[in-house]
Structure 1
């Protein structure tokens, strides 16, 4: 009796992982189309997963949740580690202190502001933490990096990713539309885009009107925020562990975000150019699809009932948090101009 059960488990893993892979590939094809490129493969992946999860009801005997959960947990983390090949500390260092100062201010302000909003709106603190990390740092990648540290429910992680994905897409479209009317040069526009939008895909798409100068500045500023994911995750882990020791008499340990160290290690490898460029390109493509498969897995866990349960408040917190970040852009512009 035990052997058939084991086989069924393997089948569940295989089918679930295959489902996430197929939808990730479909999302990649859709993302290559006009307009949908603004949304990017990550957002499209989670949307496709959410549609599948709410419309299609597969027999429970298939147990595909084993595979989709594997994608949303392990493959997603593997994708984050390989994402380190996008980072080159030398490029960010050569850009001067303004980028890291701006990024540090953006992350500090946004985290504190959204966590305060979460408290004022009386939403779950973990959900507020995820919304803050997604807005402040790097969208879905930050959310899924922080979620295991705070032992968050998968439903809340999926809801946070969805909120940030939609907001970032709207923000990207608005920036593209507003570029001709903003009193900014191309580099300043790029800084504004890189400092405020959620996903790297949003930043890449929205910075196009700024030309090469705008795009390069936007990506550098955004990657600076990605770098700061490492200390932010470690700080959150430290405080959560301290709270655990202070308030609970238990031997249970909070998870240490080892994959963040993997991300840092890979970034250092890329900075010293220890891997040939062609191999790096392949690994970045692999990272994209691993992340997309993870997003599909998260999307499948999004249920309409979960949104009804949490209500409008988390969406309100995410929107107001993004507007608050936009409100400090005059300060960010002053810092950028001062060091330029």
Structure 2
């Protein structure tokens, strides 16, 4: 009885935020159809940013907004698997693995060096480096227990990552067009260098549908690097809490990737019709527009002023390093 009431209350809270996000996504999708050069994804994040800046949505709508970002994004990724062939996924993985490995290792190592140069706290530097190089806020949330990070350090690291995710939406498609990137190269670049899964996938789709599919596959492969990092970190830190590694590994394992691969296997075996593939792909793209609207609503632009210049510069350095390393390798390998 009480459990049923709790579930009803939880979903009522979620629905408020989800309805708000759906409305913004519908408007953004419509505007994107009118102005295809801008696209629904970019309109969604701009509308979310404007609303989030003018109106404090967190007290009433935060539960639903968080649900969209954390849960519905995973559903979108699984739905994308329905229209992808396993052979294509393996081929993309083969092309991108060296780029991913190099950018992750150099991204974390050089960010750590730069943080020491600025005399920034080691914990905050590592969180920014790991978040930038692997999977954004998810990575930060998973390693903060091992690093014994304080709440303000975690907030600073996440704010830095979010800010440079926003910059990626405007910079990456422009640079891709400037360098005349094809869809595969841009998808690998987006999947390798843009921080959060939601942002990497969205930036890919903002460029083209094919680039979005490639970015999704590469980003999921990159996310798996969080697991060895969690195992290695305790050797570098002397203040990890007992059980923190086990908890971090449990939280970090991206189970939805297995569902993504399962759906792609079924598609490769011919289980899904072309009509179902098209529908799932369109629905997944609309969910991504929803996720970007939710991301925009969550951004607190005023909070960036409180960061101070050291975390900001470290985040900028990390973003540039990961971006340039992957860009060079894609162009010359």
TM-score with structure 1 setting the length: 0.69
In structure 2, the residue matched to 1:28 is 29
In structure 2, the residue matched to 1:290 is 287
Indicate conservation of the 8 Å contact 1:90/1:271, yes or no: no
CA displacement at 1:114 relative to structure 2: 3.6
> Matches of 1:44 and 1:81 in 2, distance apart?
24
In structure 2, the residue matched to 1:150 is 143
CA displacement at 1:307 relative to structure 2: 0.5
Query: Aligned ranges for residues 8-27 of structure 1 at < 5 Å?
Result: 11-27=12-28
Find the partner of 2:314 among 317, 320, 334. 317
Q: Which 10-residue stretch deviates more, 105-114 or 5-14? A: 5-14
Q: Does 1:232 align with 2:225?
A: yes
Give the length in aligned residue pairs: 306
Q: Does 1:264 align with 2:258?
A: yes
> Matches of 1:268 and 1:171 in 2, distance apart?
30
Structure 2: gaps of 5 or more residues: 145-150, 195-199
Q: Deviations over 1:305-330 (max 9, x none)?
A: 32111134444334433443425645
> Matches of 1:255 and 1:14 in 2, distance apart?
31
Indicate conservation of the 8 Å contact 1:114/1:317, yes or no: yes
1:101 partner SS? helix
Indicate conservation of the 8 Å contact 1:192/1:329, yes or no: no
Cα gap change, 1:97/1:64 in structure 2, threshold over 3 Å: closer, same or farther?
closer
Indicate conservation of the 8 Å contact 1:143/1:160, yes or no: yes
CA displacement at 1:193 relative to structure 2: 6.6
Q: Deviations over 1:159-180 (max 9, x none)?
A: 523312313421321332344x
Cα gap change, 1:249/1:266 in structure 2, threshold over 3 Å: closer, same or farther?
closer
Find the partner of 2:300 among 300, 303, 306. 303
Structure 1: gaps of 5 or more residues: 134-141, 180-185, 209-214, 336-340
In structure 2, the residue matched to 1:91 is 88
1:36 partner SS? coil
Indicate conservation of the 8 Å contact 1:53/1:303, yes or no: yes
1:256 partner SS? helix
In structure 1, the residue matched to 2:197 is none
> Matches of 1:269 and 1:145 in 2, distance apart?
24
Indicate conservation of the 8 Å contact 1:88/1:268, yes or no: no
In structure 2, the residue matched to 1:176 is 177
CA displacement at 1:158 relative to structure 2: 5.6
User: Once superposed, what is the RMSD of the aligned Cα atoms?
Assistant: 4.2
> Matches of 1:83 and 1:220 in 2, distance apart?
7
